[in-house]
A and B are shown apart, each in its own frame.
Chain A
Amino acid sequence: MSFSLLYPLALVLLPLVGCFIYCKNRPKPIYFSKPEWLPKSYIRFDSDRWIVMGVFGLLVVTLATPYLYKPDANYHKKGRDLVLAIDTSGSMAQSGFDSLERFKSKYDSAIELTHHFIQKRHDDNLGLVVFGSFAYIASPLTYDLEGLSQMLHLMSDVGIAGDSTAIGEAIVQSIEALKHSQTQNKVIVLLSDGVHNAGSISPKDALMMAKKSGIVIYTIGIGKEYDMEMMHLIAQKSGGKSFEAKSAKDLAVVFEKIESLEPSPLRSNDTLNIQKLHFYPLFLAVVLMGILIFPYPSSKY
């Protein structure tokens, strides 16, 4: 764990603590009958002033907001920005894709395997695009894999975006989702079982846009009825690869292959596992203020 400050500029106030010593008010003179009976004191320990100084110092440290973090989780992280474009057209409702569970639809198998895929993407920024007759961004790029998994289940369903297949729009929406990505390695994983038959944008135009943005598209054709040629073309032209998954087992293998692709370092400055510590100095400051307000008994004779 490493230590850092969220607002280090606040520490410029810290030297002002010296003012409590050097800019002090002129002490109030009082007549004392027998000062010679007081013990010799070489250090002026005026507890009240030290407490006030402590409170000030601690409040400044609280303002600076100290925190602990894991540097490994930040700067040395490898990963990529990846958008999953999932086909939710009517054909995805067909069953028989999984040999073990015959009544499981292609969509359910794809979602389940996508979920597992997401769980292993610790170092990636992931986004989700759902498409059918039209396409929409179900989740922007995020580190929050748990949240993304939830969105996968909540924001998608067979037919949720219509029964047709708008691959061109799916690619465009995926490009849109990657628009703010700062990594050089931007990837779209396009998962479809059908033929482009809807939308105002052709896959060819979408592919050109993807190429212009430097986005690599991996295509996964599910089942046997997808437009293999187009899927190959999209993958090939964008610098990606096209995979074929005739069964749930094949799809699992495809995801494993995609997982093994070389990740790129992230350029995000966000930190992970932050443990903010500002409550500790704040608590101490409150305790010290309590001592000031309720002085210890020895001061009252």
Chain B
Amino acid sequence: MNPLSHILIRAKKDIYRYLSGSNLSRFLGHGYDFAELVEYRIGDDIRDISWISSAKRGEIYVKKMHEEKDLSIVCLAMIEGRMAVGNKYETLLQTVASIGYIAHYQHNLFGGYYSIDGVLQRVAPSKSHQTVEYFLEQLYSQNPLGQSLHYQETIEHLMEHLHPKSLIVLVGDFLDDVDLSLLAYKHEVIAIIVRSIDEEMPSYQSDVALIDPTTNQASSKILTPNAIKHYQKKLQQHDAKLTQHFNRHAIRFIKIYHPDEIVERLGKVLA
């Protein structure tokens, strides 16, 4: 089986099984709130006729509901070289597929963006599962190695493209500084931080040459036990700053290390 098909089937299976437990029903429910009973008029959908009320009153009545406005979910896959570290890219693809299927399951609009060579690419939103699959195909065909992403420029481009208020799901490793304040002001933003364990807790290895995945160039830096301690301290400081930024702008966020935990973690942030 092609790895992409595997990702899609797995995401579909996990999401549908999970949603059957209705944990996400408040946010993604497709029920309609009852508004009033009105007499049938030409043009009304006959499926809305309340047969019990009509029988009682001798006239045809239809139930009018507060129709829930369609939610537009926009997923920004932040593809860059660092995604090639460990299984991060697989986790990113699985996460995007899961979000797409949740949107499809809930009859919401789902669209996506990704940036390649500094150019923002768009997958038009729709309620079809084919959009999810197409978006995944596009992402799968990209090689993240050597790609660098300018977070701020990408966010600015995204804001130019998105006019209606949307639920924006940013999927990336967030290892660079990013300012999401404006985006969070205009839209509802969820950040999904995809990281690998080895990235957060690198183990000491002798005789290794470090390569920067965003440039594909060898780094002059050396991995020693002390250097690892220094790196972890920097990472902690960065994450503390990031958390503070997310909290200040009411951005919900989760961190995912492995494809196995995606659905459960998404449930927490989307609930």
Which residues of A pack against B, CB within 8 Å?
Answer: 24-25, 27-41, 44-49, 295-296, 298-301
Q: Could you list 24 A-B pairs, sorted by A, with CB under 8 Å?
A: A25-B207, A27-B208, A28-B207, A29-B208, A29-B218, A30-B211, A31-B85, A31-B145, A31-B210, A32-B212, A33-B85, A33-B173, A33-B175, A34-B175, A34-B234, A37-B230, A38-B219, A38-B223, A39-B226, A39-B227, A45-B224, A298-B226, A301-B201, A301-B203
A47 to B207, CA, bound (A): 10
Of B203, B218, B224, B227, most A-chain CB atoms within 10 Å: B224
- Contact A48/B206 with A32-B223, A37-B235, A38-B231 known, Cβ cut-off 8 Å: yes
A40 to B222, CA, bound (A): 8
A48 to B224, CA, bound (A): 10
Closest to B232 in A: A301
A162 to B221, CA, bound (A): 89
Tell me whether chain A's interface is mostly helix, strand or loop, or mixed: loop
A296 to B224, CA, bound (A): 12
Residues of A near B228 (CB, < 8 A) are 301
Pick from A30, A33, A39, A299: contact of B208, CB below 8 A. Answer: A30
* Structural contact, B207 and A24, CB atoms closer than 8 A: yes
A39 to B206, CA, bound (A): 16
Contact mask for chain B residues 226-244; partner A; CB cutoff 8 A; 1 contact, 0 none:
1111111011000000000
A29 to B230, CA, bound (A): 21
* Structural contact, B231 and A34, CB atoms closer than 8 A: yes
Residues of A near B173 (CB, < 8 A) are 33
Residues of A near B27 (CB, < 8 A) are none
A46 to B230, CA, bound (A): 17
A216 to B223, CA, bound (A): 78
Asked if B19 is an interface residue, CB under 8 A from chain A, the answer is no
Within 8 A of A (CB), among B157-202: 173, 175, 199, 201-202
Residues of A near B4 (CB, < 8 A) are none
- Contact A29/B209 with A34-B235, A35-B221, A41-B221 known, Cβ cut-off 8 Å: yes
A29 to B212, CA, bound (A): 10
A28 to B206, CA, bound (A): 9
For the complex formed, measure the closest distance between the CB of A50 and the CB atoms of chain B, giving whole angstroms.
10
For the complex formed, measure the closest distance between the CB of A85 and the CB atoms of chain B, giving whole angstroms.
71
For the complex formed, measure the closest distance between the CB of B199 and the CB atoms of chain A, giving whole angstroms.
5
Closest to B81 in A: A31
- Contact A38/B211 with A33-B85, A301-B202, A301-B203 known, Cβ cut-off 8 Å: no
* Structural contact, A41 and B224, CB atoms closer than 8 A: yes
